[in-house]
Amino acid sequence: MGAASNKLNVAGLTKRFGPLEALSGVDVAVDRGEFISIVGPSGCGKTTFLRIVGGLETASAGVIELDGRGIVGPGSDRGFVFQSDNLLPWRDVVSNTEIGPELAGKLGPEQRARTLKLLELVGLKGFEHYYPRQLSGGMRQRVNLARALAVDPTLLLMDEPFSALDAQTREIMQTELSRIWEEGKKTVLFVTHQIDEAVYLSDRVFVFARRPGRVNEVIDIDLPRPRPLDIKRTPAFVAYVERIWKLIENDVRVSVLEEHEG
């Protein structure tokens, strides 16, 4: 398989914010349909990386190709799932979900049928006409996910989407996301702080390091699918978590100390 058949090719990607080098020489390749998680300490540039792929930031240097083409700005081939749900409070679930097609001028009965199916897929059947303030945090994140899926993206970009949820809801959402991914087999880039979340969901985990932000190591997660939640207690799973934690432990300690000093 040549580089051109990859979903995403990144070579020498560098991003500077003034004097600060947020990303330095990132090289990664992602296959079609792969589920990739990105973990790393605070300040390792993982969110910046995701935003560059999403077209919300521009790279300072380097090559970044999606389906063999350079990225210029956001596009409907990518669906972004944000850390906070960012639902428009004046729109109900359906019209929040349909914002992407609406902006592209693609509303209609067919889209509505797809939207309703998507909402069923994410477990929101019966809540189509609720407003965001009437929904729990977990349900709002389901809308957030459905909204990204509604543009029928080939690449799903997820920025710590479950970090604001309580532990139980988070685990449920992980299994749901895993199920949804297995149905659609979209390529996913998933940024998270939770190592177990990354291992549970992913085919591969990109471990980032900081100062400057770069890819430290890529770990293949060789666990069978579908993965029940109790796979998290198996020795193989725990070993992956341990290994990734060891890779970032030192960085995390330094970053915690720095944050403490202000």
Partner 1 sequence: MTTQTTSAEGFFNADRRWAWGSVLTGLALWEFASRVLVGSKLFLAAPTQVLYALYELVATGEIWKHVWTSAQEFVIGYVSACLLGVALGFAMASSRPAKAALQPWVAGLYATPTVALAPLFILWFGIGIFSKVVVVVALVVFPVTINTETGLLGVNKNLVETVRAFGATPRQIFFKVSLPAALPFIFAGLRLGIGRGLIGVVVAELFGARAGLGQLISQSAETFNMPDLFAGVTILAVAGIALTGGFQRLERTLIPWRD
Chain positions contacting partner 1, by CB under 8 A: 54-56, 74-76, 80, 82, 84, 86, 88-90, 99-100, 102-104, 131-133, 147, 151
In angstroms, give the least distance from the CB of 73 to partner 1. Answer: 8
Amino acid at 79: G
Instruction: List the beta strands (DSSP E) in the chain.
Output: 8-17, 20-30, 35-39, 61-66, 69-70, 78-81, 155-159, 187-191, 204-209, 214-220
Closer residue to partner 1 (CB): 8 or 195: 8
Closer residue to partner 1 (CB): 127 or 245: 127
Closer residue to partner 1 (CB): 46 or 204: 46
Helix, strand, coil percentages in the chain from 3-state DSSP, rounded to 5? 40, 25, 35
The structure tokens 């190709």 sit at 65
Specify whether the CB–CB gap between 247 and 195 falls below 8 A. no
In angstroms, give the least distance from the CB of 88 to partner 1. Answer: 6
Closer residue to partner 1 (CB): 50 or 121: 50
Tokens of 20: 């600060």
In angstroms, give the least distance from the CB of 24 to partner 1. Answer: 25
In angstroms, give the least distance from the CB of 49 to partner 1. Answer: 15
Task: Please name which of 165, 126, 122 lies closest in space to residue 142, comparing C-alpha atoms.
Answer: 122
In angstroms, give the least distance from the CB of 92 to partner 1. Answer: 9
In angstroms, give the least distance from the CB of 133 to partner 1. Answer: 6
Closer residue to partner 1 (CB): 88 or 218: 88
Closer residue to partner 1 (CB): 48 or 255: 48
Enter the DSSP assignment of 213. B
Contacts of residue 199, defined as CB under 8 A and 6 or more positions apart, other chains included, come to 37, 205, 221, 223, 237, 240, 241, 244
* The 214-220 sheet, strands edge to edge: 78-81, 155-159, 187-191, 35-39, 204-209, 214-220
